[in-house]
């Protein structure tokens, strides 16, 4: 029977990735002495907003998610950021492996809203592990599940995520609109001789918002 534990050592941008991906560097230890042949690892990555404080500017940016600060005692809950997976090659004792974390800047996704609102400090992450362990034994291979209580915490500097987004989407972001809204914006842009949809939206916003 295997006995696994997990630690998150670091979270950093994946080098040369075509899309925004963070790599969580994991240390996996097997303490029973079993030889691991392969580990099909799955992970649920959650954000626990209770574990940090927020200044007034951050609180304003979080109103879409949690409402005004006086309601946070009932509205702030930890929430899913993403599901991730990795195939871990065989090892005995312990190993280190990267867990890819694909990121989005879609503002329809709650985690993107949360991360965008943060100005500094860290993002309190929880990694909840599961998966299938294939181990070698005297009588052949054994198959077992990673216990559901395997987890680790990591305080990721918010600058890591912001730098990743800035690299892949320099001075831009993603906003999802209905087809009818896009068509109306495109017509407004064309009718007013504007160069881009960004110009059209800026023109339509109140001047005190864009100042």
List the chain domain ranges. Answer: 4-176, 177-211
| CA–CA separation, 102 and 94 (whole Å) | 25
Q: Which CATH number fits domain 4-176: 1.10.287, 3.30.160, 2.60.40, 1.20.120?
A: 2.60.40
Q: pLDDT of 190-211, one tens digit each?
A: 888 888 888 888 888 887 565 5
Query: Which pTM value belongs to this model?
Result: 0.83
Residue ranges of alpha helices (H) inside 97-156 are 110-117
Contact (Cβ atoms closer than 8 angstroms) between residue 110 and residue 77: no
Q: pLDDT of 134-192, one tens digit each?
A: 988 666 788 999 999 999 999 999 999 999 988 888 877 667 778 888 888 888 888 88
Contact (Cβ atoms closer than 8 angstroms) between residue 135 and residue 142: yes
State the average pLDDT for the chain.
90
* Mean of pLDDT values over 41-69: 95
Backbone angles phi, psi at 50, to 5 degrees: -65, -25
């Amino acid at each position: 029977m295997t006995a696994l534990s997990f630690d998150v050592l670091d979270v950093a941008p994946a080098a040369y990735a075509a899309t925004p991906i963070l790599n969580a560097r994991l240390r996996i230890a097997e303490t029973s002495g079993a030889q691991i042949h392969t580990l099909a690892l799955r992970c649920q990555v959650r954000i626990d907003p209770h574990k940090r404080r927020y200044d007034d500017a951050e609180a304003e940016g979080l109103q879409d998610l949690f409402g005004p600060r006086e309601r946070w005692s009932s509205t702030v809950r930890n929430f899913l950021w993403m599901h991730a997976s990795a195939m871990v090659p065989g090892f005995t004792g312990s190993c280190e492996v990267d867990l890819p974390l694909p990121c989005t800047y879609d503002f329809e996704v709650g985690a993107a809203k949360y991360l965008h609102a943060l100005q500094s400090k860290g993002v309190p992450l929880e990694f909840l592990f599961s998966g299938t362990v294939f181990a070698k034994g005297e009588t052949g291979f054994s198959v077992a599940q990673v216990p559901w209580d395997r987890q680790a915490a990591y305080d990721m500097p918010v600058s890591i995520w912001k730098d990743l987004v800035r690299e892949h989407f320099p001075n831009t972001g993603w906003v999802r609109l209905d087809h009818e809204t896009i068509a109306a914006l495109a017509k407004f842009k064309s009718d007013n001789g504007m160069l881009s949809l960004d110009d059209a939206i800026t023109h339509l916003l109140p001047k005190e918002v864009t100042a």
